[in-house]
Protein backbone atom coordinates (compact mmCIF):
# COMPACT_ATOMS: atom_id res chain seq x y z
CA UNK A 1 0.00 0.00 0.00
CA UNK A 2 1.22 3.49 -0.87
CA UNK A 3 1.24 5.29 2.48
CA UNK A 4 2.13 8.60 0.80
CA UNK A 5 -1.12 8.69 -1.24
CA UNK A 6 0.89 9.76 -4.30
CA UNK A 7 1.27 8.12 -7.69
CA UNK A 8 3.59 9.00 -10.56
CA UNK A 9 1.62 8.08 -13.70
CA UNK A 10 3.09 6.13 -16.56
CA UNK A 11 3.82 8.06 -19.74
CA UNK A 12 1.29 5.98 -21.68
CA UNK A 13 -1.61 7.21 -19.55
CA UNK A 14 -3.95 9.85 -21.01
CA UNK A 15 -2.49 13.32 -21.39
CA UNK A 16 -3.72 16.91 -21.62
CA UNK A 17 -0.65 18.26 -23.42
CA UNK A 18 3.07 18.12 -24.07
CA UNK A 19 5.45 20.93 -23.12
CA UNK A 20 8.13 22.15 -25.56
CA UNK A 21 10.76 24.88 -25.25
CA UNK A 22 11.57 26.36 -28.65
CA UNK A 23 15.19 26.68 -29.88
CA UNK A 24 16.39 30.23 -30.48
CA UNK A 25 19.55 32.21 -31.14
CA UNK A 26 20.49 32.49 -27.46
CA UNK A 27 20.56 28.72 -27.03
CA UNK A 28 23.30 26.31 -28.06
CA UNK A 29 21.26 25.80 -31.25
CA UNK A 30 22.19 29.26 -32.55
CA UNK A 31 24.39 27.89 -35.35
CA UNK A 32 22.04 25.08 -36.36
CA UNK A 33 18.56 26.59 -36.10
CA UNK A 34 18.05 25.95 -39.82
CA UNK A 35 18.30 22.18 -39.22
CA UNK A 36 16.72 21.80 -35.78
CA UNK A 37 13.67 24.07 -36.02
CA UNK A 38 12.05 21.83 -38.67
CA UNK A 39 12.38 18.95 -36.18
CA UNK A 40 10.52 20.95 -33.52
CA UNK A 41 7.87 21.92 -36.09
CA UNK A 42 7.36 18.24 -36.93
CA UNK A 43 7.16 17.22 -33.27
CA UNK A 44 4.64 19.99 -32.50
CA UNK A 45 2.60 19.19 -35.61
CA UNK A 46 2.26 15.50 -34.77
CA UNK A 47 1.39 16.19 -31.13
CA UNK A 48 -1.14 18.89 -32.08
CA UNK A 49 -3.08 16.34 -34.12
CA UNK A 50 -3.69 14.37 -30.93
CA UNK A 51 -3.50 16.76 -27.97
CA UNK A 52 -2.49 20.25 -26.89
CA UNK A 53 1.06 21.54 -27.22
CA UNK A 54 2.30 24.12 -24.70
CA UNK A 55 5.31 25.97 -26.11
CA UNK A 56 7.57 28.46 -24.34
CA UNK A 57 9.59 30.80 -26.54
CA UNK A 58 11.03 34.31 -26.34
CA UNK A 59 9.23 35.25 -29.60
CA UNK A 60 5.88 33.39 -29.76
CA UNK A 61 4.69 35.19 -32.90
CA UNK A 62 7.68 34.02 -34.92
CA UNK A 63 7.15 30.45 -33.72
CA UNK A 64 3.43 30.60 -34.52
CA UNK A 65 4.20 31.57 -38.12
CA UNK A 66 6.57 28.62 -38.51
CA UNK A 67 4.06 26.21 -37.01
CA UNK A 68 1.28 27.44 -39.27
CA UNK A 69 3.44 27.01 -42.35
CA UNK A 70 4.40 23.55 -41.07
CA UNK A 71 0.83 22.31 -40.84
CA UNK A 72 0.31 22.29 -37.07
CA UNK A 73 -3.25 22.36 -35.74
CA UNK A 74 -3.06 25.91 -34.41
CA UNK A 75 -6.16 25.51 -32.20
CA UNK A 76 -4.11 22.94 -30.29
CA UNK A 77 -1.09 25.21 -29.80
CA UNK A 78 -0.57 27.41 -26.73
CA UNK A 79 2.42 29.74 -27.02
CA UNK A 80 3.83 31.63 -24.05
CA UNK A 81 6.57 34.26 -23.95
CA UNK A 82 9.17 32.86 -21.54
CA UNK A 83 12.94 33.14 -21.84
CA UNK A 84 14.97 29.92 -21.75
CA UNK A 85 18.59 28.86 -21.77
CA UNK A 86 17.90 25.75 -23.82
CA UNK A 87 15.28 23.25 -25.00
CA UNK A 88 15.41 20.25 -22.66
CA UNK A 89 11.87 20.36 -21.26
CA UNK A 90 12.11 16.79 -20.00
CA UNK A 91 14.56 17.90 -17.37
CA UNK A 92 13.30 21.32 -16.26
CA UNK A 93 9.58 20.86 -16.88
CA UNK A 94 7.14 19.85 -14.13
CA UNK A 95 6.78 16.27 -12.98
CA UNK A 96 3.12 15.48 -12.32
CA UNK A 97 1.95 13.15 -9.57
CA UNK A 98 -1.57 12.32 -8.50
CA UNK A 99 -2.31 13.06 -4.85
CA UNK A 100 -5.56 11.38 -3.86
CA UNK A 101 -6.28 11.10 -7.61
CA UNK A 102 -5.86 14.84 -8.24
CA UNK A 103 -2.86 16.20 -10.19
CA UNK A 104 -0.07 17.97 -8.35
CA UNK A 105 2.88 19.55 -10.18
CA UNK A 106 6.33 19.04 -8.69
CA UNK A 107 9.01 21.62 -9.48
CA UNK A 108 12.41 20.10 -8.75
CA UNK A 109 15.64 22.04 -9.06
CA UNK A 110 17.52 21.87 -12.35
CA UNK A 111 21.22 22.75 -12.49
CA UNK A 112 22.20 21.97 -16.07
CA UNK A 113 23.03 18.30 -15.39
CA UNK A 114 25.43 18.99 -12.60
CA UNK A 115 26.50 22.55 -13.44
CA UNK A 116 27.68 21.59 -16.93
CA UNK A 117 25.58 24.33 -18.56
CA UNK A 118 23.88 27.56 -17.58
CA UNK A 119 20.32 26.83 -16.42
CA UNK A 120 19.11 29.88 -14.46
CA UNK A 121 16.28 30.66 -16.91
CA UNK A 122 15.27 27.04 -17.46
CA UNK A 123 15.07 26.49 -13.71
CA UNK A 124 12.31 29.14 -13.55
CA UNK A 125 10.16 27.92 -16.47
CA UNK A 126 7.78 25.73 -14.45
CA UNK A 127 7.22 28.45 -11.85
CA UNK A 128 6.58 31.08 -14.52
CA UNK A 129 4.14 28.83 -16.34
CA UNK A 130 2.26 28.22 -13.12
CA UNK A 131 2.21 31.90 -12.16
CA UNK A 132 0.90 32.73 -15.64
CA UNK A 133 -2.02 30.34 -15.31
CA UNK A 134 -0.79 27.83 -17.92
CA UNK A 135 -1.72 24.92 -15.67
CA UNK A 136 -5.17 26.16 -14.71
CA UNK A 137 -5.87 25.57 -11.06
CA UNK A 138 -3.45 22.66 -10.62
CA UNK A 139 -1.28 23.32 -7.55
CA UNK A 140 2.51 23.47 -7.71
CA UNK A 141 4.91 22.18 -5.07
CA UNK A 142 8.56 23.20 -5.16
CA UNK A 143 10.95 20.43 -4.12
CA UNK A 144 14.34 21.43 -2.77
CA UNK A 145 16.54 18.87 -4.50
CA UNK A 146 17.95 18.49 -8.01
CA UNK A 147 16.12 15.93 -10.15
CA UNK A 148 15.50 15.70 -13.90
CA UNK A 149 12.53 14.03 -15.54
CA UNK A 150 14.76 12.04 -17.88
CA UNK A 151 16.38 10.32 -14.91
CA UNK A 152 13.32 8.32 -13.82
CA UNK A 153 10.84 5.92 -15.42
CA UNK A 154 7.47 4.98 -13.88
CA UNK A 155 5.03 2.17 -14.56
CA UNK A 156 2.23 4.16 -12.90
CA UNK A 157 1.91 1.53 -10.16
CA UNK A 158 4.69 2.50 -7.79
CA UNK A 159 7.73 1.12 -9.62
CA UNK A 160 10.50 3.53 -10.60
CA UNK A 161 13.46 2.59 -12.79
CA UNK A 162 16.57 4.78 -12.59
CA UNK A 163 20.37 4.80 -12.77
CA UNK A 164 22.83 5.12 -9.94
CA UNK A 165 25.24 6.95 -12.26
CA UNK A 166 22.84 9.91 -12.46
CA UNK A 167 20.92 10.03 -9.19
CA UNK A 168 23.97 9.41 -7.01
CA UNK A 169 26.25 11.86 -8.82
CA UNK A 170 27.81 14.35 -6.39
CA UNK A 171 27.10 17.12 -8.92
CA UNK A 172 23.36 16.89 -8.18
CA UNK A 173 22.73 16.40 -4.46
CA UNK A 174 26.09 15.82 -2.73
CA UNK A 175 24.43 15.85 0.69
CA UNK A 176 22.20 12.88 -0.15
CA UNK A 177 23.17 9.22 -0.24
CA UNK A 178 21.27 6.34 -1.81
CA UNK A 179 19.02 5.86 1.23
CA UNK A 180 18.03 9.54 1.31
CA UNK A 181 17.36 9.53 -2.44
CA UNK A 182 15.16 6.45 -2.07
CA UNK A 183 13.23 8.15 0.74
CA UNK A 184 12.68 11.19 -1.48
CA UNK A 185 11.42 9.05 -4.38
CA UNK A 186 9.01 7.32 -2.03
CA UNK A 187 7.74 10.54 -0.49
CA UNK A 188 7.44 12.61 -3.67
CA UNK A 189 6.31 9.93 -6.14
CA UNK A 190 4.75 7.25 -3.95
CA UNK A 191 7.43 4.83 -5.11
CA UNK A 192 7.17 1.41 -3.51
CA UNK A 193 9.65 -0.45 -5.74
CA UNK A 194 12.95 1.06 -6.92
CA UNK A 195 14.92 -0.60 -9.69
CA UNK A 196 18.50 0.72 -9.80
CA UNK A 197 20.75 0.19 -12.81
CA UNK A 198 24.42 0.33 -11.87
CA UNK A 199 25.67 -0.05 -15.45
CA UNK A 200 24.95 1.47 -18.84
CA UNK A 201 25.92 4.68 -20.61
CA UNK A 202 25.92 6.39 -24.00
CA UNK A 203 28.99 8.23 -25.23
CA UNK A 204 28.25 11.90 -25.77
CA UNK A 205 25.44 11.93 -23.21
CA UNK A 206 25.74 14.99 -20.94
CA UNK A 207 23.17 13.72 -18.44
CA UNK A 208 25.26 11.11 -16.59
CA UNK A 209 23.21 8.19 -17.94
CA UNK A 210 19.59 9.26 -17.91
CA UNK A 211 17.37 6.21 -17.90
CA UNK A 212 15.34 7.46 -20.89
CA UNK A 213 18.38 6.91 -23.12
CA UNK A 214 18.87 3.32 -21.94
CA UNK A 215 15.75 1.46 -20.78
CA UNK A 216 12.01 2.21 -20.68
CA UNK A 217 9.21 0.71 -18.64
CA UNK A 218 6.28 -0.31 -20.86
CA UNK A 219 2.82 -1.83 -20.46
CA UNK A 220 2.42 -5.54 -19.64
CA UNK A 221 5.71 -5.72 -17.69
CA UNK A 222 7.87 -5.05 -20.73
CA UNK A 223 11.18 -3.19 -20.66
CA UNK A 224 12.51 -1.84 -23.95
CA UNK A 225 16.26 -1.36 -23.74
CA UNK A 226 19.27 -0.51 -25.86
CA UNK A 227 21.62 -3.38 -26.65
CA UNK A 228 25.00 -3.34 -28.36
CA UNK A 229 25.89 -6.38 -30.47
CA UNK A 230 29.36 -5.19 -31.53
CA UNK A 231 32.15 -6.46 -29.21
CA UNK A 232 34.46 -3.79 -30.61
CA UNK A 233 32.13 -0.98 -29.59
CA UNK A 234 33.01 1.02 -26.47
CA UNK A 235 29.50 0.39 -25.10
CA UNK A 236 29.53 -3.39 -25.43
CA UNK A 237 30.69 -4.38 -21.94
CA UNK A 238 28.64 -1.81 -20.00
CA UNK A 239 25.43 -2.62 -21.86
CA UNK A 240 26.01 -6.36 -21.42
CA UNK A 241 26.27 -5.77 -17.67
CA UNK A 242 23.12 -3.63 -17.83
CA UNK A 243 21.30 -6.50 -19.51
CA UNK A 244 22.32 -8.83 -16.68
CA UNK A 245 20.80 -6.37 -14.21
CA UNK A 246 17.60 -6.08 -16.21
CA UNK A 247 17.30 -9.87 -16.25
CA UNK A 248 17.55 -9.91 -12.45
CA UNK A 249 14.75 -7.36 -11.92
CA UNK A 250 11.38 -8.64 -10.77
CA UNK A 251 7.90 -7.19 -10.89
CA UNK A 252 5.80 -6.73 -7.76
CA UNK A 253 4.41 -10.21 -8.46
CA UNK A 254 7.92 -11.64 -8.42
CA UNK A 255 8.04 -12.32 -12.16
CA UNK A 256 10.87 -11.35 -14.52
CA UNK A 257 10.24 -8.53 -16.95
CA UNK A 258 9.89 -9.27 -20.65
CA UNK A 259 13.01 -7.67 -22.08
CA UNK A 260 12.96 -6.48 -25.67
CA UNK A 261 16.16 -5.08 -27.17
CA UNK A 262 16.13 -2.10 -29.51
CA UNK A 263 18.45 -1.88 -32.53
CA UNK A 264 21.89 -0.39 -32.07
CA UNK A 265 22.33 2.53 -34.49
CA UNK A 266 25.58 2.96 -36.34
CA UNK A 267 27.92 5.36 -34.58
CA UNK A 268 27.29 9.04 -35.33
CA UNK A 269 29.97 11.68 -34.77
CA UNK A 270 30.07 15.46 -34.65
CA UNK A 271 32.47 17.64 -36.65
CA UNK A 272 35.13 17.35 -33.95
CA UNK A 273 34.94 13.55 -33.95
CA UNK A 274 32.95 13.25 -30.71
CA UNK A 275 30.41 10.45 -30.62
CA UNK A 276 26.75 11.48 -30.38
CA UNK A 277 24.13 9.65 -28.25
CA UNK A 278 21.83 8.12 -30.87
CA UNK A 279 19.26 5.91 -29.12
CA UNK A 280 15.85 4.55 -30.05
CA UNK A 281 14.91 4.38 -26.35
CA UNK A 282 14.31 8.15 -26.38
CA UNK A 283 10.76 7.92 -27.75
CA UNK A 284 7.68 9.83 -26.50
CA UNK A 285 4.29 8.24 -25.84
CA UNK A 286 1.33 10.57 -26.49
CA UNK A 287 -2.41 10.05 -26.83
CA UNK A 288 -2.87 7.28 -29.41
CA UNK A 289 0.64 7.67 -30.74
CA UNK A 290 4.35 7.16 -30.12
CA UNK A 291 6.91 9.56 -31.57
CA UNK A 292 10.11 7.61 -32.22
CA UNK A 293 13.49 9.19 -32.99
CA UNK A 294 15.08 8.01 -36.22
CA UNK A 295 18.63 8.65 -37.41
CA UNK A 296 18.68 7.89 -41.17
CA UNK A 297 20.02 4.54 -40.09
CA UNK A 298 19.38 1.00 -41.25
CA UNK A 299 17.99 0.24 -37.79
CA UNK A 300 15.19 2.83 -38.05
CA UNK A 301 12.62 0.50 -39.61
CA UNK A 302 13.23 -2.28 -37.09
CA UNK A 303 12.99 0.17 -34.18
CA UNK A 304 9.60 1.41 -35.37
CA UNK A 305 8.34 -2.16 -35.75
CA UNK A 306 9.56 -3.22 -32.30
CA UNK A 307 7.96 -0.24 -30.59
CA UNK A 308 4.74 -0.94 -32.51
CA UNK A 309 4.73 -4.47 -31.07
CA UNK A 310 4.82 -3.01 -27.55
CA UNK A 311 2.25 -0.28 -28.27
CA UNK A 312 -0.04 -2.10 -30.76
CA UNK A 313 -2.93 0.34 -30.39
CA UNK A 314 -0.81 3.44 -30.99
CA UNK A 315 0.22 5.01 -34.26
CA UNK A 316 4.00 4.91 -34.51
CA UNK A 317 5.49 8.08 -36.01
CA UNK A 318 9.16 8.33 -36.89
CA UNK A 319 10.77 11.75 -36.31
CA UNK A 320 14.14 12.43 -37.94
CA UNK A 321 16.15 13.29 -34.84
CA UNK A 322 19.63 13.38 -36.30
CA UNK A 323 19.71 17.20 -35.82
CA UNK A 324 18.69 16.82 -32.16
CA UNK A 325 21.63 14.65 -31.17
CA UNK A 326 24.03 17.35 -32.35
CA UNK A 327 23.39 18.88 -28.91
CA UNK A 328 23.62 15.48 -27.20
CA UNK A 329 19.93 14.82 -26.59
CA UNK A 330 17.04 13.36 -28.55
CA UNK A 331 13.25 13.42 -28.91
CA UNK A 332 12.12 12.46 -25.41
CA UNK A 333 14.61 14.93 -23.94
CA UNK A 334 12.92 17.95 -25.55
CA UNK A 335 9.39 17.06 -24.40
CA UNK A 336 7.46 16.74 -21.13
CA UNK A 337 3.97 15.28 -21.00
CA UNK A 338 1.26 16.89 -18.87
CA UNK A 339 -1.15 14.16 -17.73
CA UNK A 340 -4.92 14.35 -17.96
CA UNK A 341 -6.38 16.89 -15.56
CA UNK A 342 -3.37 19.21 -15.30
CA UNK A 343 -4.80 21.95 -17.55
CA UNK A 344 -8.34 21.89 -16.16
Find the CATH number of the domain harbouring 238.
3.75.10.10
The answer as to whether 1 is a domain residue is no
Confidence band for 26, pLDDT divided at 50, 70 and 90? very high
Full domain range(s) for residue 28: 6-339
What does the mean pLDDT of the chain come to? 97
Q: What is the mean pLDDT of residues 17-42?
A: 97
Q: What is the mean pLDDT of residues 177-189?
A: 97
Collapsing DSSP to helix, strand or coil, 211 comes out as: helix
CB atoms within 10 A of CB 131: 11
Above 60 in pLDDT, residue 288? Answer: yes
The answer as to whether 181 is a domain residue is yes
Confidence band for 258, pLDDT divided at 50, 70 and 90? very high
Least Cα distance to 22 among 56, 65, 61 occurs for 56
- pTM of the entire predicted model: 0.97
**What is the predicted pLDDT for the residue at 268?**
97
The answer as to whether 230 is a domain residue is yes
Above 80 in pLDDT, residue 2? Answer: no
Q: What is the mean pLDDT of residues 271-281?
A: 97
Above 70 in pLDDT, residue 8? Answer: yes
Q: How far is residue 128 from each of residues 19, 92, 125, 170, measured CA to CA in Å?
A: 13, 12, 5, 28
pLDDT tens digits, residue range 97-139? 999 999 999 999 999 999 999 999 999 999 999 999 999 999 9
Cross-strand bridge partners of residue 57:
81
The answer as to whether 124 is a domain residue is yes
Cross-strand bridge partners of residue 320:
294
The answer as to whether 267 is a domain residue is yes
Collapsing DSSP to helix, strand or coil, 330 comes out as: coil
* Number of domains within the chain: 1
**What is the predicted pLDDT for the residue at 274?**
96
**What is the predicted pLDDT for the residue at 4?**
66
Least Cα distance to 225 among 277, 279, 287, 181 occurs for 279
> Would you say 77 and 67 are in contact if contact means Cβ atoms under 8 Å apart?
yes
> Would you say 12 and 219 are in contact if contact means Cβ atoms under 8 Å apart?
yes
Confidence band for 344, pLDDT divided at 50, 70 and 90? confident
Amino acid sequence: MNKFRRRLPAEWEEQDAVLLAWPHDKTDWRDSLYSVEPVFVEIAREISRRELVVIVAPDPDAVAAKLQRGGAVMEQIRLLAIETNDTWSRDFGPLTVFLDEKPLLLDFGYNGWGLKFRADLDNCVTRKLHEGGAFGGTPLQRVGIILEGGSIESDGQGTILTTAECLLQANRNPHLGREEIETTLAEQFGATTLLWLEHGFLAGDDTDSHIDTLARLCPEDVILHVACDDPADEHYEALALMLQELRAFRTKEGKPYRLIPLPWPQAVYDEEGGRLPATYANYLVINNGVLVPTYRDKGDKAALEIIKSVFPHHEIIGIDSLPLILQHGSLHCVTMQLPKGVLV
